[in-house]
Amino acid sequence: MKILHTSDWHLGHLLYQQKREDEHREFLEWLLNLIKTEQVDLLLVAGDIFDNGLPSNYALEMYYSFLARCGTHGCGNIIIVGGNHDSPSTLQAPKHVLKAINVTVVGAINAEHPENDLIVVKDTDGIPQVLVCAIPYLRDRDVYFPKPGEQSDARSQGIIDGTAGWYRRLTDLAVTRRTELNLPEIPIIATGHLFAQGMAKSGAERDMYVGDLGCFPIDAFPSELAYVALGHLHRPQIAPKHARVRYSGSPVPCSFDEAAHTKQVFMFDSTAPDNVRAVDVPAFRRLVKISGDLSVIESELRNISPADTTTWVEVFYTGKTLLPDLQDQVNSVAAPLPVQVLTCRNLAPIGPTGSDVAPLQNDLSPEQVFDQRIEQANLTDDDQIMVREAFQEILLQVRQGEQS
């Protein structure tokens, strides 16, 4: 059975308020063609299908259209787990309908019935080929109940232990099920959406969603797991000294920094889960980051060659001369070129102190404005976690109110 691991689609994502719909549609079309060409039998999507808990109608349409077409392209099994950006209720609402087309969705865990999240994946002849512990993003309350007056270190360790305990619980169920099936050779795979120790961010992941799970030890994944398909970090990567633990990363870059890294999905066969092949995802739009004084910015803009789609550019002006009309000058240069400047940040020294202060742009999202403010505040790591989590709860309430 051929298996494909992907994650972090972030359907509905905006980059400086620009829709990514065309890029996401091209990615999903590319993925369907890959599934057909490679004869993929099982698709694993490890969280963050959507960019927020209230996805737009066009994001939902893309998602359901893709799932409906997977079967016609030869993929007989799909397992989707929720990420920190996803709303468990939104993901799970149609799960019974999706089950009819062999799509299993786990938006959140059911602590009373963990066996529901153990999936026996069968081939077209009905023979079990792989066991999947379908584990979504684990929120703090899913795995740990804090004690009154507890220190942050103890709470953090409790969450890590609770997370490890859930993986252990599902893995034990899988081992028992494998014995009952009398198929000791079939592999056990787990999904996950967290920040594993020793891994690298790419700049677009939001710490507020990671919480105290920001340092989950690789060794805490049960040894019986043949492959751990992770989501959350946007750079494709393999855990140091643990090749079975992998992040597929985001297929469409969520920031200009991410565009510097090759995007990938991972494929392997159930008979050889340690023989993993990375498949590069094409860049569906070129993102270019430019930094320098005005002459450098003008030169680099003019050196951008035409592409199939308009190149998006992020500009950082670092010249020593303050230019009040910087935006107009940059837009004037870019106007006849095959580019669109999404943001132009003026980092020139301001005032006699020469301090580098970047003014807020009016095209930033609430999350980006909040992130900039947090960076300026002198907060401890624990305080940052608490403030970020509170902000996200408030923002979700506001957005729900806007759509009600």
Residue 167 sits in the same domain as residue 70: yes
- Are residues 353 and 205 located together in one domain of the fold? no
Count the Cβ atoms, other than its own, within 10 Å of residue 30. 15
DSSP E strand boundaries for 194-330: 225-231, 237-239, 242-247, 263-269, 272-281, 287-292, 311-317
With CA atoms as reference, report the closest residue to 174 among 159, 191, 161, 196: 191
Whether 78 has a pLDDT exceeding 60, the answer reads: yes
* Residues 57 and 116 reside in one and the same domain: yes
Indicate whether 134 pLDDT > 70: yes
What CATH number is given to the structural domain containing 202? 3.60.21.10
From 281, 314, 345, the end of a domain falls on: 281
Predicted local confidence at residue 155, as pLDDT: 83
Same domain for 332 and 234, yes or no, is no
Write the CA distances from 91 to 9, 87, 103, 192, integer angstroms.
14, 6, 12, 16
Residues 255 and 131 both lie in one domain: yes
From 249, 281, 313, give the residue that closes a domain: 281
What are 73's two structure tokens? 């392209």
Q: Assess contact for 234 and 281: CB atoms under 8 A.
A: no
CB-CB contact of 281 with 264 (8 Å): yes
118 Cβ neighbours under 8 A, 6+ residues apart: 131, 132, 133, 134, 170, 173, 174, 177
Residue 314 lies in domain? 286-364
Domain boundary among 256, 281, 306: 281
- The domain tally of the chain equals 3
Lowest-confidence pick of 141-150, 228-237, 255-264, 274-283: 141-150
The CATH number of residue 295's host domain is 3.30.160.720
Among 59-68, 174-183, 311-320, 395-404, whose mean pLDDT is lowest? 395-404
Residue 218 sits at the vertex; the CA angle it makes with 137 and 176, to the nearest 5 degrees, is 75
187 and 291 part of one domain: no
State whether 229 and 257 are in the same domain: yes
Same domain, 73 and 137: yes
- Average of per-residue pLDDT values in the chain: 88
Domain check: are 203 and 84 in the same one? yes
CB burial of residue 374 (10 Å; 0-12, 13-18, 19+) = middle
Higher-pLDDT residue of 354, 313: 313
At 58, the amino acid letter reads: Y
Claim to verify: residue 344 and residue 303 sit in the same structural domain: yes
Query: Across residues 333-357, what is the average pLDDT?
Result: 78
- Which residue(s) pair with 298 in the sheet? none
The span from the CA of 30 to the CA of 62, in Å, is 13
The single-letter code of the amino acid at 315 is V
Residue 340 and residue 191 share a domain: no
> In the predicted model, is pLDDT for residue 322 greater than 50?
yes
Q: Are residues 32 and 123 in the same domain?
A: yes
User: What letter represents residue 285's amino acid?
Assistant: R
CA dihedral 94→95→98→104, nearest 10 degrees, is 150
Q: With 80 as the cut, is the pLDDT of residue 168 above it?
A: yes
